[in-house]
Structure 1
Amino acid sequence: MRPLIILVLLCCFSCNNERTLLLPEIENAEVTEVLDVSPAYIFYDKTLPDSTLLNRKNLISTTNWLINVDKRLTLNQAIPKIVLMQNKKRNAKMHKNEAAKNYFTCNDTSIGNLSFLEFTDVYYEFTEATDPSTTIALIPQETNQDSIVSNYHLQLPIQINNSNKFKIVDEVTEMINGTHSYSEEKRVTEFSIQLYFDKNLSFQDYISVKSQFRGIELNQFNISSTEYVY
């Protein structure tokens, strides 16, 4: 199946000699093959107002989607197009396949071939906050209507920008280690990490950061399915 996917990509690129798509690079991806697919392309085109050209005419709602995003685009340029396609599939009323997933296509330098990063359950949200707080938040979670005692949800917001994108593993690990006292003092039953991405990060940076999280020991933390772009 992999050679067929490559052929499909090459056919798209060769249809216009002036239009190329540079895939983001990744190493040692977990997914290297996806069956039953249809592709979409988000090109970098500096002649357009937002430098972004979307080609989604070949998408079939019941298949797995391969979203090919040019790595030179910023999140501010690429994410609105990605959300547009996510909503198209999520809001489909007919010919819907709940098992179909969405993937970003990447160039896996460790194998010299394509690989795929799933983002089916990711929800993107733009926020006006330019400097999201990195203060650990404890959110009370009432056990029942009559109870005074509450459990707590510990939220760990992580801001990712050009200054820390290469050292995010160390930063997250340090912040996780700093939450032990909260767990001891309060009855914390839910732990989550919230990711805040600078809108000026390139899509390559975004993929690189996402891949770094595979190497972090998260302990009891879960990464929120909502990702914020500021």
Structure 2
Amino acid sequence: MKKIVVLLGIMLSVACHNEDVQLSKANVSVMKEIDDHSPIYMFFRTEGNDTIAEVNKKNSISTTNWIFNIDKRLPLHAVIPEVKVLQQKKKNATHTKEGAIDVFSYADSVGTNLAFLPFTDVRFLYDDKFSKFYIKEHAEAYMNYNNFTINFNRDNSITVDGNPIERKDLIAFIKEFSEFMSDGKITILHLNFEKHLTFDQYIQNKIMMWQLTSASIQLSSFEFVYDADKLPECGCTL
């Protein structure tokens, strides 16, 4: 059984056939080790004025855990459709391993190791979906929870339920209001990402949100990667 525990030092990239994928970096490890894995690489490429993800999935064995090594410069609109295709491929595979997981890799710049962010249960709703409208459409499913819509805009600024908030204040704000408003209910954080954000910005935001989780605060398994021009007209602040 293969186990990966890579010391990075000053290296912040992984290589596939002598090609580098520039990894995101953070100062915390969500996971440090993963057994029995297959690597998947998404390289940064440009075609004219477009940025695309070139995917190397030759080693994606359905009976293993999958490590997605994604170049941090890629925009989400290039990454997420490819991730969705690969998620579906694994789901439809004839042979799968019970308990196998999918993770994004990144570099822990403090621990100088390769770290992993699990996303096995994440379902990406892409392009014309936003959590505020989704919750309204499925009100019965969410009525017993305290729901926060958190939006990372195109400029990577943040709103909570349509209200701007400084990044440095977000964690304290969510914890305080969750405790104040919960009335014993579990708080669910519904994450929205404008599709032109980079994968690096996505990883940084996801790790920040992961640090908020507890028995009473959870991340929704639905993530919304949206095109602002395709959302319903609501006359409201996202």
Give ranges in structure 2 of 5+ residues lacking alignment. Answer: 9-13, 160-164, 227-238
Return closer, same or farther for 1:47/1:158 CA change in 2, 3 Å cut-off: same
The residue that corresponds to 1:86 in the other structure is: 87
Aligned position for 1:55: 56
Identity %: 30
Pick from 157, 179, 191: which aligns with 1:163?
157
Per-residue deviation, residues 17-75 of structure 1 (Å, max 9, x unmatched): xx431011122203112121111111101137542211101110000111110000011
Instruction: Give the counterpart letter for 2:91 in structure 1.
Output: R
Deviations 1:138-183 (A, max 9, x none): 94569xxxxxxxx633321111121239944623542553456654
Distance (whole Å) between structure 2 residues aligned to residue 197 and residue 2 of structure 1 = 30
Q: Greater strand percent: which structure?
A: 2
Could you say if the C-alpha distance between residues 157 and 218 of structure 1 is closer, same or farther in structure 2, counting changes exceeding 3 Å?
farther
Higher deviation after alignment, 217-226 or 52-61: 217-226
For the 8 Å contact 1:36–1:63, the answer to whether it is kept is yes
Residues 139 and 155, structure 1, Cα contact 8 Å, conserved in 2:
no
Q: What is the identity, as a one-letter code, of the residue corresponding to 2:78?
A: Q
Within 5 Å, give how 1:173-212 maps onto structure 2.
173-175=172-174, 177-178=176-177, 182-184=181-183, 189-212=185-208
Answer whether contact 2:25 2:107 (CA < 8 A) is retained: yes
Q: Distance in 1 between matches of 2:116 and 2:217?
A: 24
Give the match's secondary structure for 1:32.
coil
Q: Deviations over 1:178-221 (max 9, x none)?
A: 4566545xxx7453111011111110111111111233365623
Q: CA deviation at 1:114?
A: 1.1
Distance 1:20 1:141 in 2: 44
CA distance in structure 2 between the partners assigned to 1:75 and 1:141 by the alignment: 28
- Taking a change above 3 Å as real, the CA distance of residues 174 and 213 of structure 1, as seen in their structure-2 partners, is same
Paired residues of 1:140 and 1:153 also in contact (CA < 8 A): no
- Are the structure 2 counterparts of residues 172 and 133 from structure 1 closer, same or farther at C-alpha, using a change threshold of 3 Å? farther
C-alpha displacement at 1:126, in angstroms?
A: 1.2
- The equivalent residue for 2:230 is none
Q: Is the 8 A contact 1:71 1:203 kept in 2?
A: yes
**Secondary structure of the residue that 2:35 maps to in structure 1?**
coil
The letter for the 2-side match of 1:43 is F
CA contact (8 A) 1:168 1:209 kept: no
Give the match for residue 106 of structure 1: 106
Q: Report the TM-score when normalising by structure 2.
A: 0.74
- Give the Cα–Cα distance (whole angstroms) in 2 for the partners of residues 37 and 63 of structure 1: 5
Higher CA-based Rg: 1
Give 2:234's aligned residue.
Answer: none
Letter in 2 for 1:170: D
Q: Segments of 4+ in structure 1 off by > 6 A? A: 3-6
Q: Distance in 2 between matches of 1:153 and 1:4?
A: 40
Shift of 1:109: 0.8
Cα RMSD for the two superposed structures: 3.3
Measure the CA separation in 2 of the matches of 1:169 and 1:213: 12
Question: TM-score, with normalisation over the residues of structure 1?
Answer: 0.77
Aligned residue in 2 for 1:31: 31
**Secondary structure of the residue that 1:110 maps to in structure 2?**
coil
Decide which moves more: 172-181 or 24-33.
172-181
